[in-house]
């Protein structure tokens, strides 16, 4: 009897660890080349990193899976761009868990990855709808009629409502399962909040794009439509939210659990703010436990006082400087008509890397 209990206990502990370790496992789709060409729903079963609910969604919306995969790739790519000059550079550490252990803790970094990933699904799914090739969605037809500003709503407005709804179902699936099983742990609440924040950022920053009609662009008639900001813009906005992220803790409010600022000095976070539970490690040294790779060998900027500067990036260990000769185009001349002729010039540059 006790043996069975022990076995069951070990099984549940392992499963719990697995669930936490796996973080945003569906991002593993980024590594596959086959998703874009999934034609049959039974192929959903063999996709890496999906929980049962996500496999179900995959089967029901096979045609969307190419967009979901694109979302995973764009999210990782954007994260690496936004964090290229920081100690944690959004490196995808090992093959099985895309961000390794960095997502274990409810850190600021984890909050960003969750937000950019859920935005990462909403964005290309919405794009796919606008492309007119999807059977289950198209442009937003509710944007119609004459606006108070005197233009006509026309053309294809991005269907962000569909994109965010799809992202909510697909991306939040793991957390919803955990919530049903474990109740609202602070980590589940944190993930759900940050997932939603990523989607909200797109919704709140929809653009109005217009076109003029009439003789020689006189704009007698102006037609406009709603469009999403570029994913790069969303990346910048979420990075700003990362910089101002709010440290929170769980509190009971009646029968519900909510996240509130850890310090009473701060005002409550808004629905687009990122929230985190634990302070980040300093990421200076390699540490498998936190998923930090360390900053040995990283490039740094000798003159910068910010986090990309050698002092902070190298954590005070110092750096080495190497001189390198680069060849670049120079003394370019425009010749009539029409070509540009350049010379090759050699220039010596200094590169600094952390010890």
Bridge partners for 227 per DSSP: 207
Q: Please, what is the minimum distance in Å from the beta carbon of residue 35 to ligand NAG?
A: 24
Q: Report in angstroms how near the CB of residue 311 gets to ligand NAG at its nearest.
A: 12
What percent of the residues of the chain are helix, what percent strand, and what percent coil, each to the nearest 5? 45, 20, 35
Neighbouring residues of 17: CB distance < 8 A, sequence distance ≥ 6: none
CB of 308 to ligand NAG, least distance (A): 7
Q: SS3 sequence, 35-100?
A: HHHCCCHHHHHHCCCCCHHHHHHHHHCHHHHHHHHHHHHHHHHHHHHHCCCCCCCCCCCCCCCCCH
DSSP 23: S
Residue 304 found at the interface with ligand NAG (CB under 6 A): yes
The β-bridge relationship of strands 319-335 and 299-300 is unpaired
Q: Using the rule CB under 6 A, which residue among 125, 173, 293, 314 binds ligand NAG?
A: 293
Instruction: With contacts defined by CB under 6 A, name the span among 106-114, 122-130, 175-183, 301-309 that binds ligand NAG.
Output: 301-309
For residue 338, cis peptide bond before it (omega within 30 degrees of 0): yes
Closer Cβ to ligand NAG, 214 or 288, answer by number: 288
Choose between 139 and 292: whose C-beta lies nearer to ligand NAG. 292
**Which span (115-123, 204-212, 238-246, 291-299) binds ligand NAG, by CB under 6 A?**
291-299
Give the residue, chosen from 227, 301, 307, 353, that forms a contact with ligand NAG under the rule CB under 6 A.
301
Q: Minimum distance between the CB of residue 89 and ligand NAG, rounded to whole angstroms?
A: 4
Q: Are strands 207-213 and 246-253 parallel, antiparallel or unpaired?
A: unpaired
Determine the interface stretch with ligand NAG among 71-79, 83-91, 119-127, 263-271 (rule: CB under 6 A).
83-91
Nearer to ligand NAG, 80 or 142 (CB): 80
**Which of 303, 323, 335, 346 contacts ligand NAG by CB under 6 A?**
303
DSSP secondary structure of 302-354 = TT--STTBHHHHTTTS-EEEEEEEEEEEEEEEEETTTEEEEEEEEEEEEEEEE
Annotate each residue in 199-218 with x if it binds ligand NAG (CB under 6 A) or - if it does not, as one string.
--------------------
**Whole-angstrom distance, CA of residue 106 vs CA of residue 118:** 17
| CA-CA-CA-CA torsion sign (342, 348, 354, 355) | positive
Residue whose entry in the numeric block shows the structure tokens 């990193």: 49
Per CB under 6 A, does 348 bind ligand NAG?
Answer: no
Per-residue b/e over 95-112, b at no fewer than 16 CB within 10 Å? eebbbbbbbbbbbbbbbb
Q: In terms of CB distance, is 191 or 290 closer to ligand NAG?
A: 290
Task: Output the smallest distance, CB 303 to ligand NAG, in A.
Answer: 5
Q: Pick the piece of the chain touching ligand NAG (CB under 6 A) from 101-109, 269-277, 289-297, 326-334.
A: 289-297
String of contacts with ligand NAG for each residue 85-104, x by CB under 6 A: ----x-x-------------
Query: Could you say whether residue 353 binds ligand NAG (CB under 6 A)?
Result: no
Which residues here bind ligand NAG, judged by CB under 6 A? 80, 84, 89, 91, 293-295, 298, 301, 303-304
């Amino acid at each position: 009897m006790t043996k069975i209990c022990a076995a069951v206990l070990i099984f549940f502990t392992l499963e719990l660890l697995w669930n936490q370790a796996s973080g945003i496992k569906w991002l593993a789709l980024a590594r596959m080349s086959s998703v874009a060409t999934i034609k049959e729903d039974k192929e959903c079963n063999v996709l890496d990193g999906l929980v049962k609910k996500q496999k179900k969604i995959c089967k029901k919306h096979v045609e969307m899976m190419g967009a979901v995969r694109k979302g995973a790739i764009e999210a990782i790519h954007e994260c690496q761009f936004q964090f290229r000059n920081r100690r944690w550079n959004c490196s995808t550490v090992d093959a099985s868990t895309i961000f390794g252990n960095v997502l274990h803790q409810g850190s600021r970094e984890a909050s960003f990855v969750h937000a950019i990933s859920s935005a990462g699904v909403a964005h290309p799914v919405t794009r796919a709808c606008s492309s007119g090739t999807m059977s289950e969605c198209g442009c937003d037809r509710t944007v119609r009629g004459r606006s108070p500003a005197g233009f006509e709503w026309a053309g294809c407005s991005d269907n962000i409502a569909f994109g965010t709804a799809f992202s909510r179902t697909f991306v939040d699936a793991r957390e919803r399962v955990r919530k049903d099983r474990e109740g609202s742990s602070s980590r589940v609440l944190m993930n759900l909040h940050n997932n939603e924040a990523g989607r909200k950022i797109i919704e709140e920053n929809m653009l109005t794009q217009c076109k003029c009609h009439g003789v020689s662009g006189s704009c007698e008639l102006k037609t406009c439509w709603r469009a999403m900001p570029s994913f790069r813009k969303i990346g910048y906005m979420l990075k700003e939210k990362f910089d101002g992220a709010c440290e929170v803790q769980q509190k009971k409010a009646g029968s519900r659990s909510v996240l509130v600022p850890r310090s009473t000095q701060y005002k409550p976070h808004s629905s687009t703010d990122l929230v985190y539970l634990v302070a980040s490690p300093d990421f200076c040294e390699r540490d498998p436990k936190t998923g930090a790779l360390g900053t040995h060998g990283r490039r740094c900027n000798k003159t910068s006082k910010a986090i990309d500067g050698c002092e902070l990036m190298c954590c005070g260990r110092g750096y080495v400087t190497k001189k390198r000769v680069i060849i670049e185009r120079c003394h370019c001349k425009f010749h009539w008509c029409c070509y540009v002729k350049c010379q090759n010039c050699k220039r010596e540059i200094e590169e600094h890397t952390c010890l």
